[in-house]
């Protein structure tokens, strides 16, 4: 897994991140979603590393990266805080500017990095998501039935107790999932979802989403702030983004100045289910 990549644990100002990196050329950071670790990219990253310097961290709160201290506003798990981690990590590795791609919850951190640091982020790719504010404002019965866990995860203590009672049942861990992910990536993910501190860190990401992250999005929209770099939106045709929102690009258009995107024939975890198609899409976007 990640043949030729260097694995490090890097201490930053407010977090310690586990990261793999390798490659040559312009830098791109790949951010995982819930409940994965950076290992979700192990099929995609090597396909990009011949043309790009690829950096794959565990986000703070996830995997083997550090867990932020709890606060009433969950600010340590905010996407703004995580975006700052990304900027600092890349500077530590020698990259003053870089492209960023994120899947699922990682897409929110990538989005926030592009919004908050327009002079640093050269290109943005978001996978299988719409902005948090859009998702919450468009919430209807269909969303509530499919994405009820967003609101359950907003409760204190109860989600952790439910998940840790039987993590394998909660996350539907099966031999088929292990085969699809690959043994090493599955073992990394499996260790994460069985670790109480990591489960808490992952759930805090959702609590921040319902509060402080939503506030940051609302402030940006009110001020008219938009993403200024080229933006690629990709979504899984066998997931529910089109069912929920219809024209996905229409949802993103008010937030961007240079937008393109399309669906990929995959389930939700496209980096694991359709790595070649995803890598090709990212490579084409990052090269132009």
Residue with the two structure tokens 């830098």: 27
Known active-site residue 268? yes
Cα 188 from Cα 174, distance rounded (Å): 15
Cα 242 from Cα 36, distance rounded (Å): 23
Known active-site residue 239? no
Among the listed residues 58, 85, 104, 217, the single catalytic one is: 104
**Per the structure block, which two tokens stand in for 157?**
């203590």
Among the listed residues 117, 190, 194, 268, the single catalytic one is: 268
Cα 45 from Cα 137, distance rounded (Å): 34
| Cβ neighbours for 84, distance < 8 A, ≥ 6 positions apart | 14, 116
**Per the structure block, which two tokens stand in for 3?**
């043949």
Active site residues: 104, 268
């Amino acid at each position: 897994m990640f043949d030729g990549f260097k694995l490090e644990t890097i201490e930053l100002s407010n977090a310690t991140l586990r990261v793999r990196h390798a490659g040559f050329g312009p830098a791109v950071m790949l951010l995982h979603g819930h409940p994965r670790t950076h290992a979700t990219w192990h099929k995609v990253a090597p396909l990009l590393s011949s043309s790009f310097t690829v950096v794959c961290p565990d986000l703070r709160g996830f995997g083997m990266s550090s867990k932020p201290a709890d606060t009433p506003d969950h600010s340590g798990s905010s996407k703004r805080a995580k975006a700052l981690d990304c900027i600092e990590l890349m500077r530590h590795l020698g990259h003053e500017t870089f492209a960023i791609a994120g899947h699922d919850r990682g897409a929110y951190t990538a989005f926030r990095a592009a919004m908050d640091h327009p002079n640093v982020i050269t290109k943005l790719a978001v996978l299988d998501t719409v902005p948090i504010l859009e998702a919450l404002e468009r919430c209807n019965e269909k969303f509530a039935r499919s994405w009820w866990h967003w609101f359950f995860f907003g409760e204190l203590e109860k989600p952790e107790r439910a998940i840790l009672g039987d993590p394998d049942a909660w996350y539907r861990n099966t031999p088929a999932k292990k085969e699809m992910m690959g043994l090493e990536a599955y073992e990394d993910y499996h260790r994460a979802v069985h670790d109480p501190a990591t489960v808490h860190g992952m759930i805090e990401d959702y609590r921040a989403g319902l509060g402080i992250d939503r506030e940051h999005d609302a402030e940006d929209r009110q001020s008219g702030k938009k993403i200024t770099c080229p933006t690629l939106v990709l979504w899984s045709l066998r997931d529910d983004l089109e069912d929920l929102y219809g024209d996905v690009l229409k949802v993103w258009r008010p937030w961007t100045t240079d937008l393109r995107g399309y669906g990929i024939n995959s389930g939700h975890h496209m980096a694991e289910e359709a790595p070649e198609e995803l890598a090709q899409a990212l490579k084409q976007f990052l090269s132009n």
